[in-house]
Amino acid sequence: MSLESYNAKRNFKKTKEPKGKKTVSGKRLKFCVQHHLASHDHYDFRLELNGVLKSFAVPKGPSYNPKDKRLAVMVEDHPLSYRNFEGIIPEGEYGGGTVMLWDRGYYKIDYYDDKVLKITLYGKRLKGKWSLVNYKDNNFLLIKEIDKYVNYAKISDFKTSVKSDLTMKEIAKKYQNK
Ligand code: MN
């Protein structure tokens, strides 16, 4: 799913989200996770690949417990600059609600085939080995692999932005009139 789909869904006169432009990936691949309180509360997991962010909506968010298989639905590619986005998407616009930058860092690809992507995350909060398993259409399972980062913490323990240190409420307040 390309950036055309990303651009088509958004009115850039109304939303402060970045316009979708393809860039060239550097040596180190980046990733981010955004906590997105829209019509449904969810986390967006985004991995840089070929100059865009491959994006997955994760309703329950990632889990540090390998027994939890978290649904991750692949959505449209996002521009690489989206990894820095935090703020408000106006009501009535696509994805309207509050966006917090919940984690960011680098990752590396350890293995991939038609169905499985195995990665190592070097984030502030998400670390170690993870898998994304494609089981049907755009539906994947995001699973923590067994390593020393298992049960490191619960994601709900982290209530603030890695960018601004603000909570969801504080982000909503800060950007409400902008
Ligand atoms: Mn989202």
Round to whole Å and give the CA distance between 21 and 79: 6
Residue 103 alpha carbon to ligand 1 centre in Å = 14
13, 73, 74, 84, 108 from 142: Cα distances, Å: 34, 10, 11, 22, 16
pTM equals: 0.94
DSSP for 27-87, please give it.
SSEEEEEEEEESSSEEEEEEEEETTEEEEEEETT---S-TT-EEEEEEEEEEEGGGGG--E
Whether pLDDT at 152 is above 90: no
- How far is the centre of ligand 1, averaged over its atoms, from the C-alpha of 44 (Å)? 5
pLDDT at 177 over 80: no
**What residues does the ion ligand 1 have nearby, CB within 5 Å?**
36, 44
The whole-number pLDDT of residue 1 equals 62
| Cα of 91 from ligand 1 centre, angstroms | 14
Sorted by where each begins, the domain ranges of the chain are 3-175
Q: Tell me the pLDDT tens digit for each residue of 39-69.
A: 999 999 999 999 999 999 999 999 999 999 9
Question: Residue 33 C-alpha to ligand 1 middle, in angstroms?
Answer: 10
Predicted local confidence at residue 178, as pLDDT: 64
pLDDT exceeds 90 at position 2: no
pLDDT of residue 26: 81
Distance 110 CA to ligand 1 centre (A): 26
Report the separation in Å between the CA atom of 99 and the middle of ligand 1, taken as the mean of its atom positions: 8
How many whole angstroms from 115 Cα to the centroid of ligand 1?
A: 23
Arithmetic mean of pLDDT, 157-167: 96
